[in-house]
């Protein structure tokens, strides 16, 4: 992604680094044997772990109570005056501004956290990211602080039993951004020749309100949970929303075994399981005529329910929790290769 904008940003960064030395890089390790920052802070400061939110993701603030995630003794703030005392500094990739980065080194216990929820295809790559951050926080399950778009949690006695919503549509797709070069659009164009698909969203000239979106999803037997790009662990709300609303997701994204690390094997249909879109359509027609076999895709609902991640807030709280439990220093030496490679 070496665009003109990137060249300008890179040049600004080189000039800025030259003038500031290496100060914008986090100190890689404390020089003390004990890496616990409690040895470096006064007693009344050791009760809470402080995470400085350098910029709010997409300029949207969220409340800072981490109790909902079972995370205690965390202090989230955007008060930059406490930079020298913060245990972690939270940087959302899309909001990074080179001229706005800290101009002095933080304390040796401080961790800089790279936060990003977009796929590599939709994330501008900067050549200076390596060695700049200590931790990664994103949807990748192998990140230091993984926060997937959603996950299954066990049902408790207070949760109502799953009831399959009334269905009046066979296959649905809701899409805002249409790009004929994307795999999902190409697959859709072939699939629709073999089965009726109810299509919604800005791409089809009929955008939905939040309420209509839920009603449409729940009224469909199957939903095209097609990701906009195919990357490791990039499994978004396109999967978890239909699951939570009683529609069987038909996924196009990473391989089946990648999905199976997050959801049961019999809770979804993968396009890779079929030799062609026509073969997939034949399978869907069969399931439409066999209610008992169709209902097997909902066996998971007897034990689990879907929870969607809370963008921004959950990332910050999970970051705080991680820093509380992992005090030793570390540096992301190969962030570019890890994420874009």
d(CA 330, CA 293): 50
- Sequence-ordered alpha helix ranges (H) in the chain: 4-20, 183-191, 210-218, 237-244, 256-259, 277-288, 291-295, 313-325, 335-340
Among left, alpha and beta (phi > 0; psi -120 to 50; other), residue 205 is: left
> Annotated catalytic, 118?
yes
Strand locations in the chain, DSSP E?
49-53, 74-77, 88-92, 111-116, 135-138, 145-146, 150-154, 169-174, 197-200, 220-226, 248-252, 269-270, 304-308
Which of 118, 227, 282, 303 is catalytic? The answer is: 118
3 state SS of 127: coil
Q: What is the DSSP letter of 108?
A: T
- Cβ neighbours of residue 254 closer than 8 Å, sequence gap 6 or more: 230, 231, 232, 233, 234, 235
- Tell me which residues are annotated as active site: 118
């Amino acid at each position: 992604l070496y665009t003109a904008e990137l060249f300008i940003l890179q040049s600004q960064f080189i000039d800025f680094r030259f003038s500031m030395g290496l100060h914008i890089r986090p100190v890689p390790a404390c020089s003390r044997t004990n890496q616990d920052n409690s040895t470096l802070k006064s007693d009344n400061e050791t009760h809470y772990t402080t995470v400085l939110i350098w910029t709010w993701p997409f300029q949207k603030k969220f409340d800072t109570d981490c109790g909902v995630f079972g995370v205690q003794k965390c202090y989230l703030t955007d008060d930059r005056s406490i930079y020298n005392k913060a245990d972690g500094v939270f940087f959302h990739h899309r909001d990074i501004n080179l001229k706005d980065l800290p101009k002095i080194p933080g304390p040796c216990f401080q961790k800089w956290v790279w936060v990003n929820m977009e796929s590599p295809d939709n994330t501008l790559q900067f050549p200076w990211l390596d060695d700049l951050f200590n931790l990664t926080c994103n949807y990748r399950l192998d990140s230091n602080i993984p926060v997937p778009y959603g996950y299954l949690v066990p049902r408790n006695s207070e949760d109502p039993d799953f009831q399959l919503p009334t269905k009046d549509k066979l296959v649905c797709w809701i899409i805002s951004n249409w790009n004929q070069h994307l795999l999902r659009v190409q697959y859709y164009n072939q699939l629709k020749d073999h089965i009726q698909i109810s299509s919604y969203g800005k791409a089809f000239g009929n955008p939905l309100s939040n309420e209509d979106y839920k009603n449409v999803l729940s009224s469909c037997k199957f939903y095209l949970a097609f990701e906009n790009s195919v990357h490791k662990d990039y499994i978004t709300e396109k999967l978890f929303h239909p699951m939570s609303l009683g529609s069987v997701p038909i996924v196009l994204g990473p391989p089946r075994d990648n999905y199976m690390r997050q959801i049961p094997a019999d809770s979804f249909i993968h396009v890779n399981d079929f030799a062609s879109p026509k073969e997939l359509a034949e399978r869907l027609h069969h399931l439409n005529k066999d209610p008992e076999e169709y209902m097997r895709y909902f066996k998971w609902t007897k034990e689990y329910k879907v929870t969607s991640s809370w963008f921004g807030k959950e990332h910050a709280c999970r970051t705080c929790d991680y820093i509380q439990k992992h005090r030793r220093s570390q540096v992301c030496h190969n962030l570019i290769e890890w994420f874009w490679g």
